Every structure is written in C-alpha cells, then in structure tokens.
Amino acid sequence: MKILVIRFSSIGDIVLTTPILRCIKNQIPESTVHYLTKASFKDVIASNPYVDQFFFLENSLQKICKELQEEQYDFVIDLHNNLRSFKVKQALEKPYYSFKKLNVRKWLLVNFKRHVMPDKSIVERYFDAVKPLGIKNDTRGLDYFIPENCKLAIKDIPMSHWHGYVACVIGGSYFTKQLPAEQWKILMKHLPFPVMLLGGAEDKAMAEAIAQEDPIKIYNSCGKFNINESAELVKNARVVISNDTGLMHVAAAFQKPIISLWGNTSPEMGMFPYYGYNNLTERVSPLSVIVQNNDISCRPCSKIGYKKCPKQHFRCMHDLNMQYVAEKTIFFWKKANLSSAGNVYNT
C-alpha cells in the first residue's frame, strides 16, 4: 500500500503529524509512506525513519504534482486541508482522507467566545481522518529525530549551563503569541537556575535585552543554532517554558515538562502540548502546565495571531503571573532526573 501524507507547514504542525507516520508504518507493515511539505521545513521532518520518500514543494505546485502522479498512490492523507492540498488531491485523482479543520467552530470561539471545540488534540483529529485505514493511536506521542550532524557538544554551550538549564522559547510566528520582554525579565528574577533563551535570528535583539538581567545565568542562543540544534537544546533542558510555537511541540516530542504561555490564541483549538493521551480536562498531563489569562473577554481573538494587539492593551500576555510560572518551573526542576537531563551533550 502506497500512501502520500500532506502537511505543508509549519514546524509545530509538521511535528504534530508524526504519530500518524509512525502508526501507519507499524500497523500496516507493507505500506510505503511518502510525505509532501514545503522545502523550507525540510530539516524538521527529513530524518524521520517512518517516511520512505519526501517531496519538498519550492515554487511550482504543478511541477510537484507531475512528480507525484508518477508514484501511483493508493491513498492520499491530507493533514493540511487547504486549497493547495486540494489541488494536489485533484491532480492525483486517488482516494483520499482529509482531517476536519473545524473552522466554523474556531470562528465561533474567536468571535463569540462559544466553547464548542472538542476537548482533544489536533493529533487525535488527524487519527479520526485515518480511521478508514484501520490506523489507531498508539498513544506514544510525538516524534522528533535529530540528525547526527546536528548533535551538539558540551563546548557549544556555556560551562554555567553544563549541568542543567531551563529552556525559554521566546519566539513566535506573531507578535500576539509572544510574551513581552518585560515579562520575561520579571520571570528571570524569580528563576534560580541557568536559563537558555531559544528563538530565531529575528528574536536576537529581544533576547539580548532579557539576558542583560543576568548575563551569566541567562544565555542568548537566538540565531546561533539551526532548528535541529535548537531541538537538541530543548531535548537537554530540565524544563521548557514556551510561547505557543513550534519548539513547544518539539519539547513535547521529547516528553519534557512544559509550561506553555498563551496570548491571543487558545489551547482549546487543539494545539496544546501533546504527550500521546492528554486533553485539557479529563486527561491532563502531569508534564504540562498551561498558563493563560481567563479574566479578559477579548481572548481568543484569533486562531493564529496578529502583528499587534487589536485592543492595544495586550493584557492576555502582560497580565500573566510570572511568579506562578517560576513556581511551576521550580517544581518541575526538582522532579527532573538529574542523571538524564541537562548534561548529556557529546564530549
């Protein structure tokens, strides 16, 4: 059985598809699995051993469709479900299964604050899409595979962080999904542990401002490491504090304790840290703490994010209790296995 799985973007969304890939290969042993995504996200998925062949979209959708037509798939699994993936399915003319985006329910949540989303991860909605193939959730959670050439050595981080650190993911795809620098600075004052700031080159300036609070305790890694090297930093952290962004899901793939910070988006949409079984109410993971402001009526104000707060006050992030975040971080740190966290770099 030859199967094409489609998910074009982005980092976190691609990581959230990995249980589907694993379960197809393990539960249909004769299957051949191909994966279609954007070329810009190649490094996120290219080392996944459950995929037999990758196709990376660069500029021409028509060109990639011609390549895919030659593969003669038995089924297409569309885990993106947008216009572009529709065109791929249309070109291939093969049986397909698509996951339900629930856009109407999201619209009701954003615009009328009606809580009608199902209490389950988007991963479980992906599994709903492949039920006709007999695929079941093995509850092992997400996968992330770091290539050997991206493994870090102990010399790649400061000596002050060799025996453990808290990874703070300060980046985000939109301004309204990012905790402000002032809030990070408050948190730094409450944390008695070494801190690693993670993000892209675009986050470097904010990270420098945060690191000035304590240049020895706080290490700014933003822009210094690629996505797989950053994943390695997440893997070796004792605790991860993160905005609603891709590295949060990478952290969940490594079963790390995560304190997730939510601004204008909501975990109710199904993008909360997923460990293979958990939801937001009945099956809460002991590894996950969700921090959000439920005292304002304007959130969630978007399913993705904005360049600035529509109400101009940005209380969803400015009012988050950093002392509470610090207390939860200390709790997780004390529970961490000292023999397996924070000091496992290659020497």
**Is 159 in the same domain as 262?**
yes
Among 234, 191, 187, 175, smallest CA distance to 44 is for 234
In a domain, 230, yes or no: yes
Domain boundary, last residue among 105, 133, 161:
133
**Is 107 in the same domain as 188?**
no
Among 341, 330, 346, 337, smallest CA distance to 157 is for 346
**Is 90 in the same domain as 175?**
no
Write out pLDDT tens, residues 10-40.
Answer: 999 999 999 999 999 999 999 999 999 999 9
Write out pLDDT tens, residues 264-319.
Answer: 999 999 999 999 999 999 999 999 999 999 999 999 999 999 999 999 999 999 99
Q: Of the ranges 46-60, 302-316, 326-340, which one carries the lowest mean pLDDT score?
A: 326-340
**Is 20 in the same domain as 118?**
yes
Q: Considering the entire predicted model, what is its pTM?
A: 0.96
In a domain, 143, yes or no: no
Domain boundary, last residue among 102, 133, 164:
133
- pLDDT for position 336: 85
**Is 106 in the same domain as 164?**
no
**Is 12 in the same domain as 129?**
yes
Mean pLDDT, rounded, for 30-57:
98
Q: What is the DSSP string of 68-96?
A: HHTT--SEEEESS-SHHHHHHHHHHT--E
**Is 156 in the same domain as 129?**
no
**Is 194 in the same domain as 221?**
yes
**What domain range includes position 95?**
2-133
| CATH code, domain with 184 | 3.40.50.2000
In a domain, 246, yes or no: yes
CA 184/CA 194 separation, integer angstroms: 14
**Exposure of 282 by Cβ count < 10 A (0-12 exposed, 13-18 middle, 19+ buried)?**
exposed
Distances in whole angstroms, Cα of residue 131 to Cα of each of 20, 97, 117, 225 = 11, 9, 20, 39
CA 263/CA 302 separation, integer angstroms: 10
Write out pLDDT tens, residues 100-115.
Answer: 999 999 999 999 999 9
**Is 93 in the same domain as 159?**
no
Strand partners, 290: 260
**Is 42 in the same domain as 180?**
no
Position 169: which residue type? V
Domain boundary, last residue among 83, 104, 133:
133
CA 309/CA 177 separation, integer angstroms: 10
Neighbours of 130 (CB within 10 A): 22
Write out pLDDT tens, residues 112-132.
Answer: 999 999 999 999 999 999 999
**Is 224 in the same domain as 301?**
yes
Write out pLDDT tens, residues 192-214.
Answer: 999 999 999 999 999 999 999 99
**Is 163 in the same domain as 68?**
no
Running DSSP on this structure, what letter comes out for residue 307? S
- pLDDT for position 341: 47
Strand order in the sheet with 218-220: 218-220, 195-198, 166-169, 239-243, 258-262, 288-292
